[in-house]
Amino acid sequence: MFRSLRRALCAAAAALLLPLAGAHTAHAADTPGAGYWHTSGRQILDAAGHPVRIAGINWFGFETSNHVVHGLWSRDYKSVIDQIRSLGYNTLRIPYSDDILKPGTMPDSINVSGGMNADLQGLTSLQVLDKIVTYAGQDGLKVILDRHRPDSAGQSALWYTASVPESTWITNLKALAARYDGQDTVIGIDLHNEPHDPACWGCGDTTKDWRLAAQRAGNAVLAVNPDLLVFVEGVQTYDGVSGWWGGNLMGAGQYPVQLDVANRVVYSAHDYATSVAQQSWFSDPSFPSNMPGIWDKYWGYLFKQNIAPVWVGEFGTTLQSTVDQKWLAALASYLRPTATYGADSFHWTFWSLNPNSGDTGGILNSDWTTVDTVKDGYLAGIKAPLFPSTGTGTGGGDGGGGGGGTHACSATYTVTNDWGSGFNAEVKVSNTGTAALSSWKVTWSFPGSQKITNIWNATATQSGQTVTAVNAAHNGSVPVGGSAGFGFGGAPGGAGTPSVSCTAA
């Protein structure tokens, strides 16, 4: 997004620490997403040829002067990743700057009191990144590393600066590719965030042509780790037509990125709403009906013409204006609901998890714990299943139990906030059987006149005091030893913590 407008507010906020959930064991062998990935036309396929959908979120901070993801001043990193998983996001885009590749770079603002983040004490920024990647993989999440800035001072128009030349950029990309070689939680690298004017596409000037630079860097990455996907963003202006920074891929059809290893390119666009900046299409009398045509022109044609997969690596808004609300609803529809199209869809990572993105806010509220359920709700239809765990464990498949294993689950109910006239609660569903679950159902009875007023990551019916909640389309699949979750709001307060039962299938 326009970095002159974004202000990451780094002040620590008090937060309630969520319970740690621990590592999760392996998914069933036939769960899509295992191994490294490759492309085929407009789809991304896993190692076994199953189509997969990236449906994730950005967690930023490594690119700032903190040199580490934000929020660890008030949360344990494992609890954050567990919460991301429970909300149904399956991929983390992690921005970084080249500063973290400098020897001895240490993270700032990590709270290690009371045992929080205990295993991060004394680690360099890169070592903390290792921990986050490892735990995300154990939770069934994939990771895309995003070279966001040359240094923590700010965004750059081109992929190099006077202090960080192209040679340093490529050397550091290769170092990260080698660091995670064989660790398929990291599925790829976003080569550079938001190239913009004077960056061009297809102009042939090696000092400005982003397409040629992406080919040089992409080939260098693949020479070290040929299994990675190479994510290539757009530019700002092509053939006199301007758009969002990194959001203009109009030239990619005529001038494709061509790498030495086939089936590795995923094109990436960014798209934002008026809380970031005004664009002419927002004031078009036909808005929001005009937006699909805008997206088709800038990047959607690559998917619709079966040229390559398209990943919207950033999109976000404060959601305060009616225009922004209509924009987000239209974009979610354009990206194709998972229930209708499955993995034959656009890929995406929302900006951002962090509440301290000044012109978009985040999925988490300013306490770094509670969820903006309205914003998260817009994304419910485009979320997609989690991926197999890359951690060690004794589960997976049918658990070795034969005959398909047994299906069983348990559920825990936690009141996260109660203000008298209403309350919020979260429910965690755990697979306690020896076979992967394809669906689950949780029931409980309120002690009084409480009613559910809104719910996310599940659907519910209520008859009198009895509530029955069933999984959403994106989180019904739960691996052996794994978990899923949902949350809801209700009224009035005082519901306490009722007993819950779980039924698995």
Catalytic sites, residue numbers? 194, 314
DSSP assignment letter at 364: B
Determine the Cα–Cα distance for residues 328 and 326; give it in Å rounded to an integer.
Answer: 6
Q: Which residues contact 280 (CB under 8 A, 6 or more apart)?
A: none
* Residue ranges of E strands in 234-377: 237-238, 241-242, 265-272, 310-316, 347-350
Residue 285, both tokens: 């009398």
Cβ atoms 484, 393 nearer than 8 A: no
Q: What is the 3-state secondary structure (H, E, C) of 190-223?
A: ECCCCCCCCCECCCCCCCCEHHHHHHHHHHHHHH
Cβ atoms 479, 24 nearer than 8 A: yes
Omega of the bond prior to 103 within 30 degrees of 0, cis? no
Cβ atoms 340, 374 nearer than 8 A: no
Tell me the CA distances in angstroms from 54 to 44, 143, 210, one per residue in order: 9, 10, 24
The closest alpha carbon to 253, from 211, 207, 302, belongs to 302
The radius of gyration computed from the CA coordinates of the chain, to the nearest angstrom, equals 22
Determine the Cα–Cα distance for residues 384 and 235; give it in Å rounded to an integer.
Answer: 28
The closest alpha carbon to 259, from 159, 172, 191, belongs to 191
Determine the Cα–Cα distance for residues 34 and 50; give it in Å rounded to an integer.
Answer: 9
Tell me the CA distances in angstroms from 474 to 20, 89, 153, 293, 386, one per residue in order: 22, 9, 38, 28, 8
Cβ atoms 369, 15 nearer than 8 A: yes
Residue type, 15: A
Question: φ, ψ for residue 339 (rounded to 5)?
Answer: -60, -30
Q: What is the 3-state secondary structure (H, E, C) of 431-443?
A: ECCCCCECCEEEE
